[in-house]
Amino acid sequence: MPDEIHVRGSVSIPESELSWRFSRSSGPGGQHVNTSATAAELSFDVANSPSLPEPLRSRALDRLSTRLVRGVLTIRAEEYRSQQRNRDAARTRLATLLSEATAPPPKKRVPKKIPRGINERRLENKKRRSALKRQRTTRWD
């Protein structure tokens, strides 16, 4: 298992900044599920992490604000019967979340000016269509 989670570019989070908790998982597993702590809960302090540069940290805090509790992001994985697979699933989810949250904002679209010839052609077509429809109407004088 790698000891770092790759976020973006050269930014990675060391294992020492992650906090793990294990508990009993719900779901299938029979008697085994009642006796083993297979659910993995991963916590990462986004607000105080020295691994995240300030621009990435502020972007992540802004975009993940609904998922944070006092600046800490918590991910729970319990879909597998094995603790190791749940740990891997939680790490993968954390990497995906942080990668998406720290992505640079999309470039703004610059509206282009409509060329004069195209605009004139459009207006000419509108006039022609209007005249055609005007001819179809009958006057009731």
Burial of 140 (0-12, 13-18, 19+ CB in 10 A): exposed
pLDDT digits (tens, 9 = 90+) for 81-114: 788 888 899 989 988 988 888 888 889 999 999 9
Query: How high is the pLDDT of residue 27?
Result: 65
Residue ranges, the chain, pLDDT below 70: 1-2, 27-34, 141
Question: Residue 126 has what pLDDT?
Answer: 97
The domain segmentation of the chain, as residue ranges, is 1-141
pLDDT given for residue 119 in this prediction:
94
The predicted pLDDT at position 1 comes to 46
Q: Bridge-partner residues for 4, per DSSP? A: 14
Euclidean distance between CA atoms 133 and 141, whole angstroms: 19
Q: Which fold has domain 1-141?
A: Double Stranded RNA Binding Domain (3.30.160)
pLDDT recorded at residue 30: 66
- Assess contact for 46 and 52: CB atoms under 8 A: yes
Q: What spatial distance separates the first Cα and last Cα of the chain, rounded to whole Å?
A: 90
- Relative orientation angle of helices 54-63 and 83-101, to the nearest 10 degrees: 100
pLDDT on residue 129: 96
